[in-house]
Amino acid sequence: MKRIIGAITLMIGVGAIAIGVNSQKIKRKTPPNSLYCRLTPGSVYDGDTFRATCEGETEELKVRLCGIDAPEKDQALGIESRDTLRELMGIHSDLFLVVVDRDRYGRKVAEAFVPTGRGEEEIFINAEMIRAGMAWHYERYSNNCPNQMVFDQMVAEAKQKRLGIHAKSDSMPPWEYRKNN
């Protein structure tokens, strides 16, 4: 009987500790190169570039999405790619950026995340552009993207569904298009 009472007491104690742990608010850890931002209205230039106003920054930032390259606006699917990015980010959207670099044009190169409004869930914008078939995985420049390991999976999904740039076999990646034009 003493064993049963001891076991019950131990279980109640462990349960109380577990309840206490679960009810604590734990703040999300963010890397030092993280920025909380707001998308600047009308600022999505194309499928991989936009402007945002960020906490701690004195001026509006130009942002280039890390590890992807979207069709140029005058290229096939260029306008559709831009509109997809606008849709994913939403108008007046709050953003979380993980800045990894600055490009030769002075833009911050970053991974972008948009909250879904459902707890801690976020949309990983870079990956979703690839999954929608509206951007290529820009492997040459994706090594410094912290979450680039999902890009290949997104490419496979878009190819399997023949979405966007994968609908035709003759789609020209933007880096080749820029060289030719």
Catalytic residues: 64, 72, 107
- Which tokens in the block code for residue 28? 């999300």
Q: Is 40 helix (H, G, I), strand (E, B) or coil?
A: coil
- Cβ distance 92 to 82 under 8 Å? no
Q: State which amino acid sits at residue 87.
A: E
End-to-end CA distance of the chain: 85
> E strand or H helix at 102, and its extent?
strand 94-102
Residue 140 C-alpha from the chain's centroid: 18
* Chain-centre distance for alpha carbon 75: 24
- Rounded to 10 degrees, what is the CA torsion of 56, 62, 68, 72? 170
SS3 content of the chain, % helix, strand, coil (to 5): 35, 25, 40
Whole-angstrom distance, CA of residue 103 vs CA of residue 84: 23
